Amino acid sequence: MQDRQAACCYAATRVGLGVALLMAPRVMQGWVGPAARRPEAKVLTRVAGARDLALGLGTLLALGEGTPVRRWLQVAAAVDAADTLVSLAAVRHITARRSLPAAALATGGAVTGTWLSGRLN
């Protein structure tokens, strides 16, 4: 797979996650548990969904227009790194069973975004 194709897949995955979080915030239950059903948590879930949707769409637009994509990838990687740290910091509140898989997923996103940003302009 070429770098631009990989970046497209990375961005499209982020768009899909963003849409899922916006449309069905209950999917966050796997990360934070039953608290995800609370109205306040649904608001924050939708905010995270909007964030991921915007980052994914921005990346896809840049790829489609042939404009620089590096900054989009760097910001997405930074957001994923922050999600990793937040997940690890919450381990005693939401249990390792919930926080560690979320941290691993976010770490994968951070590594992928960082790797791609080093390969694309």
List the structure tokens of 101: 């898989």
The 10s digit of each residue's pLDDT in 50-76 is: 999 999 999 999 999 999 999 999 999
Identify the pLDDT of residue 9: 98
Burial (CB count within 10 angstroms: exposed 0-12, middle 13-18, buried 19+), residue 43? exposed
Q: Mean pLDDT throughout 80-106?
A: 95
d(CA 25, CA 61): 25
Give the pTM.
Answer: 0.93
The percent of residues above 70 in pLDDT, for the chain, comes to 99
Contact (Cβ atoms closer than 8 angstroms) between residue 45 and residue 28: yes
Q: Mean pLDDT throughout 16-28?
A: 95
d(CA 1, CA 67): 20
Nearest alpha carbon to residue 10 among 69, 86, 66? 69
